[in-house]
Chains A and B, each alone.
Chain A
Amino acid sequence: MLSLNSVTKRYGAFTALDRLSVTIPDDAYVSLLGASGSGKTSLLRVIAGFEEPDSGTVSYDGKHLNGVAPHRRGIGFVFQNFALFPHLSVENNIAFGLRYREQEPVVDPADVRQRVADIVRLVGLEGLEARKVTAISGGQRQRVALARTLVTEPRMVLLDEPLGALDANLRERMCDELRAIRERLKVTFLHVTGSETEALLMGDTVAVLSAGSVAQIAPASSLFSAPLNADVARHLNAYNVLSGKAEGGHFHADGARFPLPDHPVPQDGAPVDVALRFDRISVVAADAAEPLDAVIPARFVASEFNGSSVLSFFRMDDGTLLQVVAHLSGPPPRSFESGALYKLAFDPRDVISFTERAA
């Protein structure tokens, strides 16, 4: 179990990690979601020992890791650019850690060969052992990077945007394989990514990193359906986040007014943020007569066709951009007229409200 306690890391005037505390359980796939600049790479580097935190502690099973050299931490690191050893073959890349590590190097060549062969089979690199790492494809390099780390049996593997360098097709396949490999080896993976779909897909547990600290850590499904604050909701890229005031149990902002949920109890006049899922909104004509519980009037901007769904953008009078997703499995969505006014209707029970505004 890895624990970080109030870890702070600054680079000059910039604070990359701000009193960050988090616990990463054993034998789990944890994904760490953060926008670029949120400090996710700094966090991995502090855990790996490439950087020392300015304050706070990093510990593993209660033992302090602060000041422990990276090569004595037993934590593997898979780099975004793979960082393979260019002068070595695939096989020698994978055998590298076993042969040359400081603690318990494997000296018996037959033993090394056996272990390398096992891991090569696990990641599916058979037949490429003698190749130069420059003479294989991106996906294969990714596997070499992974195999090279896994063969040393680290207690934890840090993956820094491991799929970022792969094309979309390959990325999906590697996602499944990463999960399968991890489950077989029972080692903890901490997978950093900027993509919310990747984070939700990969992680048993998802941690959202925002402004240098962990905004929420929860199982993927509960994180998605119940973000803890507006910041987390924004990161999930599935919620419209509106800021306003509570007034008589209603949300009130320029051009929008609708009932707030009972929990948390809205206090009159207090600032409140609400999150509304893209796919829980239906679009109705501005002059529709049927009574609606909650509507936001907005003008249509543009649509994006995504294959299985259509994402439409609307702009409220105060300039706030709202997104609406219509899945194509349902009735075919209407086409909207650019600049025309529509009513965005939704069930007020789908609204999630946050009384504590994120800084």
Chain B
Amino acid sequence: MEARVLKPILGVYCAAFILFLYGPMIVLAILSFQGAGGGPQFPIIEWSTYWYRHLLGMTEPGRISRLPIGDSLLRSLTLAVMTTVVSTVLGVVTAQGFRTRFKGSGVVFYLVILGMIVPGVLVGLGMALLSNLLGINRSWWGTAFVLHVVYTFPFAFLVMLAIFNRFDRSVEEASLSLGVSPAQTFRRVTFPMIFPGVLSAMLFSFTLSYDEFSRTLFTSGRELTLPLTIYGTFSVEIYPNIFAFGVLTTLFSFTLLLIYALLMLRAVRSARSFKGQEEAA
């Protein structure tokens, strides 16, 4: 009885929520097809792909200069990949360490988690001051990279901690008892089994780093990352080419998600057995 009333209400609420969530993005996408003479607002003067072509340098040079995003896009992608690799490796290793209780593990846990809790602007500012003090040049691949790792590592760590929490240790012990060394056991048994978690940790690290703003603001030095560059263009005047770029970068993110989903599906299919073994226990 209750469910009959509650279900449609929840459904409508959920739909409204999703509309609200995607509303800005939909508006952005629509405006990105504004004609050459139109501005970044309604009404649409003329439907065209002009701003996409403008973005890619395929239009006649005119009054409005191209978005200077080529280099910063490359930088941001490189930075995100670097951060992903380092944070995921650190996350896996740390979570592995936490599988056995050690003295002070509680303190270490909160120290790691601190990296995602402290306000980004403050950490960025602090890093800037510190690097000035030590005479280190600020750069996206140095100071900013360190902060990106500090920020994303806790996410990767928490994901891996959750994975290891429901990991059946006896499977590793079985491998050891067959004469297989701990290193080989990790490679042949542990890693394939935690792989879905590793994928999630990577996805977290990548997306968080890719659009990180506050921590990067004071630490990237002269060469800017993509979010900083885009923010910089706002200070001049906004044209629909930013919207076009927004659409493209969203598509890129969705592609990443799709790849993640496919890999995940494969991994989960081959490791469905958690269930099977619990059932037998």
Taking beta carbons and an 8 Å cutoff, which residues of A are in contact with B? 48-50, 69-72, 74-77, 79-87, 96-97, 100-103, 132-134, 138, 141, 145, 148-149, 152, 154, 165
Contact = CB atoms under 8 A, between A and B. Distances in A.
16 contacts: A70-B173, A71-B177, A71-B178, A76-B178, A77-B173, A82-B280, A83-B173, A85-B174, A85-B175, A86-B171, A97-B178, A97-B179, A100-B180, A102-B184, A132-B270, A152-B178
B177 A75 contact: yes
Contact of B173 (A50, A74, A102): A50
B63 interface: no
Interface string B184-211: 1100110011000000000000000000
Given A77-B173, A80-B281, A84-B277, A97 B180 contact: yes
B271 A76 contact: no
Q: Which of A48, A83, A85, A103 gathers the greatest number of chain B CB atoms within 10 Å?
A: A83
Contacts of A154: 177
B100 interface: no
Nearest to A71: B176
Given A87-B271, A100-B188, 12 more contacts: A76-B177, A77-B173, A82-B280, A83-B168, A85-B174, A96-B180, A100-B175, A102-B179, A133-B276, A141-B276, A141-B280, A148-B178
Contacts of B49: none
Nearest to B184: A100
Contacts of B235: none
Contacts of A133: 273, 276
Interface of B: 168, 170-171, 173-182, 184-185, 188-189, 192-193, 270-278, 280-281
A87 to B, nearest CB: 5
Contact of B174 (A83, A101, A141): A83
A168 B185 CA distance: 34
**Which secondary structure dominates chain B's binding surface?**
helix
Given A81-B170, A86-B271, A87-B271, A48 B277 contact: no
Contacts of A85: 171, 174-175, 189
Contacts of B168: 81, 83
A77 B179 CA distance: 11
Contacts of B173: 48, 50, 70, 77, 79, 83
A142 to B, nearest CB: 9
A71 B280 contact: no
Nearest to A164: B281
Given A71-B182, A165-B280, A86 B177 contact: no
Q: Which of A74, A77, A100 gathers the greatest number of chain B CB atoms within 10 Å?
A: A100
A74 B280 contact: no
Nearest to B191: A87
A139 B117 CA distance: 50
Nearest to B277: A81
B273 to A, nearest CB: 3
A96 B188 contact: yes
B276 A134 contact: yes
B273 A71 contact: no
A79 B273 contact: no
A149 B177 CA distance: 8
A70 B276 contact: no
Contacts of B276: 86, 133-134, 141
Q: Which of B170, B179, B275 gathers the greatest number of chain A CB atoms within 10 Å?
A: B179
A86 B277 contact: yes
A79 B170 contact: yes
B204 to A, nearest CB: 23
Contacts of B184: 100, 102
Nearest to B177: A77
Contacts of B274: 86
A101 B179 contact: yes
Contacts of B193: 86-87
A165 B270 CA distance: 23
B179 A134 contact: no
A76 B270 CA distance: 26
B259 to A, nearest CB: 20
A96 B189 CA distance: 10
Given A80-B281, A86-B274, A152 B175 contact: no
A148 B117 CA distance: 47
Contacts of A75: 177
Contacts of B185: 71
B174 A152 contact: no
A72 to B, nearest CB: 8
A71 B179 contact: yes
Nearest to B173: A50
B189 A81 contact: no
Contacts of A77: 173-174, 177
B176 A70 contact: yes
Contact of A71 (B181, B189, B272): B181
Contacts of A84: 171, 174, 273, 277
Contact of A79 (B174, B188, B189): B174
Contacts of A71: 176-182, 185
B178 A149 contact: yes
Q: Which of A72, A132, A134, A141 gathers the greatest number of chain B CB atoms within 10 Å?
A: A134
Nearest to B275: A134
Contact of A70 (B171, B177, B192, B275): B177
Contacts of B277: 81-84, 86
Nearest to A152: B178
Q: Which of A87, A101, A149 gathers the greatest number of chain B CB atoms within 10 Å?
A: A87
A338 B173 CA distance: 53
Given A83-B171, A83-B173, A165 B178 contact: no
A148 B185 CA distance: 15
A302 B60 CA distance: 100
A102 B181 contact: yes
